[in-house]
Chains A and B, each alone.
Chain A
Amino acid sequence: MNERIAIIFKKEVIDNLRDRRSVTSTLMYALLGPFLTLLLMMVVGNLFNEEIDKPIKVPVQGGEHAPFLVQFLEQNNVTLQPAPADPRQAVRNGDVEVVLIIPEEYGEDFRLGDPANVQLVLDGSRQSTIPTVERLSDLLQSYSAQIGSLRLLARGISPSIVSVLMVERLDVSTPQSQALLFLNMLPYLLVMTVFLGGTAVVIDTTAGERERGSLEPLLINPVRRWEFVIGKLLASLPFAIVTILISLFGVAVVFNVVPVEEFIGFRLGVDLSALGGIFLVCLPLILLASALQMIIATFARSFKEAQTYVTWLPVLPAMPGLALAFLPIKSYLWTICIPAFGQQVLILQFLRGEPVSLLNIAVSIILTLVLAGVLIYVTVRLYSREQVLFLRGEKGSKKRRA
């Protein structure tokens, strides 16, 4: 390496390592992804597990009109409770999940063989009540079918004559693909880590340098501008690389050491080669992110302004990433070509343990490196202009001293 670049690189690394606050907050970012995923698995996993086994509590109004139905429900693990005075209000307020109302006419209708009306008071906008409501309505359906069959039998007709279809569900999802819900989020969080890992260093060495007033004297040293740019850019890389390594370590711990199966009911493994693959596709992205941030920080009027712009930057790759979380996007070559998004597609494939096409990896790496090269060229051009010394809107030799 060019000796002057090495000097600049070394100085910036040491200088920024001493910035304790930035270093710690970067480490926090690094662990955010895996930690958030773990937290979600615990919360959501617990939610699902509970609903299946636990008896559900259902407030009933007019239970005395339908003693057989009440008995049926109780046999099927439903704990019946007295209904609140105003069922609609209570459900709307979320005090109870659902209320079953059995009108007075129930007995009469039942005896005559007419469809007997029962009402479920529910709030469809409350996601968390869905399992309870569905279970209750399934039970009511099966009670209805059971009594119906008995009635047909009493008239000498086979109940199967009214069963036109018998729907059988064959769920092919494996435990791993069920956990996609959680995994889909992780690629974006990892890419965000890539973007944030070197941010503090990039801002400090560009916008920070100018704001401290150390840029002008620095540029008087006999060093070419491109050497300054490359030295400073390289200095951000070790920080970003360590950040992503810590993140991947966190992922490995969450999926291999923490007993996540207790929460989600099945085991998920992420092996070393998958982690290595993720690291590989992230590397060129680190360079791209640093170069992009450097351009933005150079344009910013102050350290604060640079910080504001640059910390918003990871939202951009989130846009397609959010779509990925909801849509089953395949890894077509064109998706790989979108910078920062292609990486997320590849990372997801690695996490899912799918075979990842070498062509796709190569295209992603080469394309990202080429784009990073263009951005670095732009940065060097920016630093070759004399305006780089002055904050925007402040031309020439106006004094800034108190």
Chain B
Amino acid sequence: MIEVKELHKSFGEVRALQGVSFVASNGQITGLLGPNGAGKTTTLRVLYTLLEPDNGTATIDGHDVRIEPLEVQKCIGALPDARGLYPRLTTRENIRYYGLLHGLRGDALEEQIDMLIKLMQMEEIANRRTEGFSSGERLKVAIGRSLVHNPKNVLLDEPTSGLDVMSTRAMRDVIRRLRDEGKCVLFSSHIMQEVTALCDHIIIISHGKVMNFGTPNQLRQATGQQNLEDAFVSIIGTEEGLER
């Protein structure tokens, strides 16, 4: 469970976040929709403790990101904006490194890695060095390693960007599965169709502010639009920086 209250963050002159508040519950897929530059990545970076907010609070499972960053890191799995792998290590070794850093050891760790390799359908690339992997394969490994410690909260920054149709579909299946396991899934996207297809709860963000939030039905009612994507556009006021 993720709770964000009145987050503010500036980079010099640029006011990236101007009072962002929302809640993402367990067993739900929460989408953070907004055009490029709206503050999605900044919000997520605050949540996975890489940025400190100027103002406001963010807690994950009750742990404040500022006060207990280590506790927060233990209960989240994150796919950040940058998702580079170690090209000289195999898929297994890449995932194992993160598992070890999370304190997993021995058989428990190896079983978890096997499970992830099956879940993400990575059997063929499991023992290959990641150098030269396709973007789909790289993303699978990146997701795999972020889930190695079986986190309760999963944060994904534009998880399908750069993927082909097949990989995108596989990705969506994984996200749904995480929800069905009762996890709190928060993902950001500028692709409206994606948010429409996946989310139980949608937060629309633009210029560092939350413009509206709610279930798809609530958003449709609030705007009087039948089509969810039209609802998004009418809330944000422009289609610029979004993708259908």
Contact = CB atoms under 8 A, between A and B. Distances in A.
A220 interface: yes
A395 B16 CA distance: 11
Nearest to A227: B101
Interface string B140-151: 001001100000
Contacts of A399: 36, 41, 81
A217 interface: yes
Q: Which of A7, A219, A396 has the most CB of B within 10 A?
A: A396
A169 interface: no
Interface stretch (B18-26, B45-53, B172-180, B192-200): B45-53
B82 interface: yes
A111 interface: no
B86 A15 contact: yes
Nearest to B89: A15
A214 B162 CA distance: 17
Contact of B88 (A15, A224, A397, A401): A15
Interface in A352-396: 386, 389, 395-396
Given A19-B88, A396-B42, A213 B73 contact: no
B83 A213 contact: yes
Contacts of A14: 89
B49 to A, nearest CB: 7
A400 interface: yes
Given A396-B16, A397-B16, A386 B51 contact: yes
**Interface band, chain A:** 20 to 34
Contacts, number: 93
B101 A217 contact: no
A222 B97 contact: no
Contacts of B67: none
B16 A400 contact: no
B100 A397 contact: no
B11 A217 contact: no
Interface string B59-99: 00000000000110110101111111111110000000110
Contact of A220 (B11, B40, B73, B100): B73
Contacts of B39: 397
B166 interface: no
B80 to A, nearest CB: 5
Contacts of A11: 86, 89, 97, 100
A241 to B, nearest CB: 21
B12 interface: yes
B14 interface: yes
A397 B41 CA distance: 6
A221 interface: yes
A305 interface: no
A216 interface: yes
**Interface band, chain B:** 35 or more
Contacts of B14: 395-396
Given A212-B84, A217-B80, A7 B97 contact: yes
Interface string A205-218: 00001001111110
B161 A220 contact: no
A382 to B, nearest CB: 15
B78 A217 contact: yes
B42 A223 contact: no
A4 interface: yes
A15 B14 CA distance: 38
Nearest to A6: B100
Interface in B176-205: none
Given A4-B101, A397-B16, A222 B50 contact: no
Contacts of B76: 220
Interface in A1-44: 4, 7-8, 11, 14-15, 18-19
A108 B103 CA distance: 103
Interface of B: 11-12, 14, 16, 36-37, 39-42, 45, 48-52, 70-71, 73-74, 76, 78-89, 97-98, 100-103, 142, 145-146, 161-162
The 8 closest A-B pairs by CB, nearest first: A213-B84, A213-B82, A397-B41, A214-B84, A212-B84, A222-B73, A216-B82, A18-B88
Given A213-B83, A395-B14, 14 more contacts: A11-B86, A212-B84, A217-B83, A217-B84, A217-B146, A220-B48, A220-B146, A221-B73, A222-B70, A222-B74, A386-B50, A386-B51, A389-B50, A399-B36
Interface of A: 4, 7-8, 11, 14-15, 18-19, 209, 212-217, 219-224, 386, 389, 395-397, 399-402
